[in-house]
Amino acid sequence: MCNGARLAVPGQVAQPLPRGAPVFHFNANRIDPPQLEVTKPARRPKLIRMSAILPATGEVPAYRPYLGILFMCLSASFFPAMNGLAKLMSQSYASEQVVWARTLSHLIFVLALFMPKAGWRIVRTRRPGVQFFRSCMLISSTFLFFTAIKFVPIAQAASISFTAPLIVVILAGPMLGEKVTLSRVMAVVVGFVGVLVVIRPGAAVFQWASLLIVGSAGCFAMYQVLTRRVVGFDAPETSVVYSALVGSVLMSVVVPFFWKTPASWSDALVLGSLGVLGGLGHYCVARAMTYAPANFLSPFQYWQMVGSVAVGYFLFSEMPDAFTWLGAALIIAAGLYVGLKGQPERSVAPPPGATALPPA
């Protein structure tokens, strides 16, 4: 058999076959003179590339830390704006309708963004069960958060929701097989002490809805862990679409029982903008990660606390008290320690939505 080289002619050195050339095999089991059997090399499977985050060449963009910081701060500004508008709409409409508007407008936004290039391939998934459960966790997180901010100040809600990365540390061991060090466990404990400082159970200022935000952070942490489970199996855009697709379908079944026709076009516009703001926020996170490593950018995600204070003050005349600032400082410090110790020095762009930002 001659495989991968030409037949040698006396006095000449065998030369390698050019790529794609047919390979000749001698069949020595036949009685008649040897015949040549021609077999074409197997064609390599065609890879489908649908990433809108990295350029078409597959190369990671140059290290541009200032652009990374800019996009991370932009994302941390979009989320408080969305949460403030959701709280504003929750005063006139049921949480179910607000969540439905946020999810459906997000779905329409990402489909308009990705389908022109990817077509219906974008809904093909090799992990349908994981994608379904992942989307259920996200819609649960959003529903709990939007319900809670009817009663809880925006800044207080944001500070409690920063515990999501800490809960990921707890879940990463049993669900992802990641090693959890004692120092990271202690950071998680410090973070939850900060939650107790913010919530102050048993005090006169205790608000039961704060517990909904803890539940929201837990659901969002599970969503992040499940997002890691589908990385490498589905395109990032597919994960983004499923994040909104399942929630939109589920909430479309529920919302007729709570429907209230928007009182004005401005209300309808605000409701429709919720998903656009959320989509832009997640896009900016993913974009930021292409310019700088995650461990470098992680401190800037807490700009959301500043944005939440500003939104709460200008829209609702809310101002955090000293205990909220102290608890938020403990939670943020713990989150920074976990993020900086747990991230590799270099990072590739994560799927949009697979961020350490609080639920939105």
Residue 353 has pLDDT above 50, yes or no: no
Query: Residue 202's pLDDT is what?
Result: 72
Neighbours of 42 (CB within 10 A): 6
pLDDT score, position 342: 60
Strand intervals (E) in the chain: 23-26, 36-39
Residue 225 binned pLDDT confidence (cut-offs 50, 70, 90): confident
> Mean pLDDT score of the chain, rounded to an integer?
80
**How many other C-beta atoms can be found within 10 angstroms of the C-beta atom of residue 10?**
4
**pLDDT computed for residue 345 by the predictor:** 42
Q: Report the pLDDT value the prediction gives residue 101, as an integer from 0 to 100.
A: 96
Tens digits of residue pLDDT in 197-210: 998 887 766 888 99
CA neighbor of 328 nearest in space, from 138, 194, 131, 149: 194
User: 29 burial class (0-12, 13-18, 19+ CB within 10 angstroms)?
Assistant: exposed
pLDDT band with cut points at 50, 70 and 90 for residue 351: very low
Q: What would the mean pLDDT of 228-235 be, rounded to a whole number?
A: 81
Strands 23-26 and 36-39: antiparallel
Q: CB-based contacts of 80: which residues, under 8 Å, 6+ apart?
A: 154, 158, 304, 307, 308, 310, 311
Task: Measure the CA–CA gap between 224 and 356, rounded to whole angstroms.
Answer: 8
User: Residue 255 — pLDDT band, cuts 50, 70, 90?
Assistant: very high
pLDDT band at 360 (very low <50, low <70, confident <90, very high): low
Torsion over CA: 67, 164, 141, 271 (sign): negative
